[in-house]
A and B are shown apart, each in its own frame.
Chain A
Amino acid sequence: MAKRINLQGNQACALGAIAAGCTFYAGYPITPSSEVAEAMARELPKIGGTFIQMEDEIASMGAAIGASMGGLKVMTATSGPGFSLKQENLGYASGAEIPCVIINVMRGGPSTGMPTRPAQGDIMQARWGTHGDHAIIVLTPASVAECYSETVRAFELTERLRVPVVVLIDEVIGHLVETVDLDALKPSRLVTRKFADGPAEGFEPYAVTDDMVPPFPRPGDGYRSHTTGLTHLPSGFPTQNPSKAEAALVRTTDKLDLHADLIEAVEVAECDDADVVIASVGISARAGQAAVADLRSKGVKAGLFRPKTLWPFPEAALKAATKGAKAVVVPEMNQGQMVLEVERLLKNKSVHGLGKIDGEAITPAEIVTRVTEVLA
């Protein structure tokens, strides 16, 4: 039975989170992400969940982490200035391997920038915003339906892998309303973290397991555990022993490589015979999709490469999709962030950026013009 509704991207994130089993939200409203908080405030009480409006973004991130350490599926949402504030605690969640989902609806920056205008300026911050080498996963929905389904996937990944997952949305997609079939989006299964169920005696909260994801000790189940942002041993206690410290850190980053098949997700369209591939995310990728159709109608063989998982960057998929292409164009609402990664991976290809930071979305016509220049 189709349940067609007109749904907003931000609201879709909230409904997706609840469908994925999220029962705790702590946040501090900020344009253009506030509708996520509004929807969670409305929906969570209906299922016995907890919504807290905290005093700021730092505390919101802390509260979400604390609730996750209590065993709940948790989420927070914010935009640029708030995302900056969350970075310290986000690093803690990464280091201590505490599952959490962070929605970041990107607006113009830096600082308070342009609150109601779209941007994609947090592409690098989402990967490297917190200090130190750390594991993080970043998903980039490009439609309202994907705001829902990628938030569901964010919960699956964060619970399965104990890595913080950022759902990175631009203001256009966050505030876009599209007709969706809600029933078709409902997840068919619920993924919940692996809780410790072995003997309590000798339990190690950061044990090295085959899947590199330590079973999570649920408070009250009788396991003694120690959680710290300091580099720690399998016992959970700090170490500065060089080989043990390195092994502990490398496990948290290597687990992403081990589970790459689970994490990676891309859309590849019409790249088989493409002379030019447009590589992009979010609303810019939707413009790219329209530009591909326009270019094809003019006889230009164009294709689209769209990471749904932006970080870790889908390296092999990009190389495969651009194998026969003469040029790659990377439209993004910033001065050139994703293009750096594409250049790094495609050293022998002609890679061209298309940046825009005026607070307006990139149009299909602008991409067509850039492609035409590049191929000339």
Chain B
Amino acid sequence: MDNFEVRFSGSGGQGLILSAKFLSAALMAEGYNVAQSQSYEPVSRGGLSRSDLVVSKGQAAFPLSRGLDYLLILHGAAAHASDGLLSKNSLVLVDSELVPEPPKGDFTLISLPFTDTARKLGNKRVANIVALSALVARAGLCPMAVLENVVRTKTPPKFANLNMEAFEAGQALALQDA
């Protein structure tokens, strides 16, 4: 894949922009040029939040999304915010608990228990890492070891074990489903 677009979407405070940063770092390490943008409300929690990656081997003229290859939806607030950017090649991953009414259309939709998996690990706030890991494992965006290294080195020591457990759990979720 020389060019592709990824969107992390949900509600403010879910760690969507952090997930996007982790994936950006992994993709850069793999030689890609990444343009990462974000949109959020002027509140510290809640509201529609998203971060997009426009990934290319060359230089992207327009750094914002024009058509999503991969879409993650972690909250119902974002369920239909990206409908206009989906096509039949899109892969859409949604949280089965928080997105009860996912987008419908001619694309691949996978509903997985990201939040519930995180909760069982002891903290639902790591749902973003569960989902990131599941998305990358399922879509093969980069080698898992590269992403794992990014998550490990960029996570504060206090959360290191929890994030690595979330990473493993996300990968397992994706493989179970496949």
Contacts and interface: CB of A to CB of B under 8 A. Distances in A.
Partners in one complex: yes
Interface of A: 4-6, 31, 114-117, 143, 172, 175-179, 283, 286-287, 289-290, 293, 361, 363-365
Given A4-B28, A177-B35, A116 B40 contact: yes
A175 B38 contact: yes
B63 A178 contact: yes
B24 A6 contact: yes
A180 B32 CA distance: 11
Nearest to A364: B62
Contacts of A143: 63
A176 B32 contact: no
A186 B119 CA distance: 46
Contacts of B39: 116-117
Interface residues of B, number: 20
Contact of A177 (B21, B32, B42, B62): B21
10 contacts: A6-B21, A6-B24, A6-B34, A179-B24, A179-B28, A179-B32, A179-B35, A287-B62, A293-B61, A364-B66
Which interface residue of B33, B35, B40 has the most chain A CB atoms within 10 A?
B35
B42 A116 contact: yes
Contacts of B66: 290, 363-365
Contact of A286 (B36, B38, B61): B61
A32 to B, nearest CB: 10
Given A6-B34, A116-B40, A172-B37, A177 B24 contact: yes
A95 B38 CA distance: 39
Which interface residue of B35, B36, B63 has the most chain A CB atoms within 10 A?
B63
B83 interface: no
B62 A286 contact: yes
